A and B are shown apart, each in its own frame.
Chain A
Amino acid sequence: ETGVTQTPRHLVMGMTNKKSLKCEQHLGHNAMYWYKQSAKKPLELMFVYSLEERVENNSVPSRFSPECPNSSHLFLHLHTLQPEDSALYLCASSQGAGGNYGYTFGSGTRLTVV
Chain B
Amino acid sequence: AQSVTQLGSHVSVSEGALVLLRCNYSSSVPPYLFWYVQYPNQGLQLLLKYTTGATLVKGINGFEAEFKKSETSFHLTKPSAHMSDAAEYFCAVSEAGTGNQFYFGTGTSLTVIP
Contact = CB atoms under 8 A, between A and B. Distances in A.
Contacts of A106: 43
B45 interface: yes
A110 B42 CA distance: 10
B103 A42 contact: yes
A104 B46 contact: yes
B43 A107 contact: yes
Contacts of A66: none
Interface size class of A (residues with CB under 8 A): 20 to 34
Interface in A59-108: 90, 92, 97-100, 102-108
Contacts of B100: 31, 33, 45, 48, 50, 55, 97, 99
B94 A103 contact: no
Given A55-B100, A99-B98, A90 B44 contact: yes
A42 B105 contact: yes
15 contacts: A6-B43, A40-B9, A42-B107, A90-B44, A99-B94, A99-B96, A99-B97, A99-B100, A100-B51, A100-B96, A102-B34, A103-B46, A103-B102, A106-B43, A108-B43
Interface of A: 2, 4, 6, 31, 33, 40-43, 45, 48, 50, 55, 90, 92, 97-100, 102-108, 110
